[in-house]
Amino acid sequence: MLRESKIMLANIDRYFQRKYRWRYHVLVVDNHFYDCYSFFLQAYRYPDKLHYSYDLVEFDHNKAKYGQVLKDLRDHYQFSIEFRDTHHLVHPGTDIVFDASHGHAFSTTYHGKNEH
């Protein structure tokens, strides 16, 4: 088993607490900005909208290593897996100025390029 797989599985054991009314899934990001793959454990507690994201492992772009780490994850756990790619970022449609679900419990204003 690869070192990255061992790190990921150890971090899952640390953060996956199997609590009542919690949902978990794994988020895999192909990050082209930093030229790496990142794995996160996403945790949601019902009925709260706030979610928690735990870093599991991050490693350089290497298709063979990526495939093996993903296989090791699927062999040990049955999480749903969400894949994201930074080449395909999606704008939410409008700028978000109030978002109580993600810890922004107050209104924010966005300044133009010439404003401070």
Residue 33: inside a domain, yes or no? yes
* pTM, rounded to two decimals: 0.75
* Contact call for residues 33 and 23 (beta carbons, < 8 A): no
Residue 94: inside a domain, yes or no? no
pLDDT of residue 91: 72
Q: List the single range of 20-34, 45-59, 63-77 with lowest mean pLDDT.
A: 45-59
User: What are the tens digits of pLDDT across the range 19-29?
Assistant: 898 999 999 99
Q: Bigger pLDDT: 29 or 101?
A: 29
- Domain range enclosing 73: 3-88
Tell me how many domains the chain contains.
Answer: 1
Rounded Cα–Cα distance for residues 8 and 1 (Å): 11
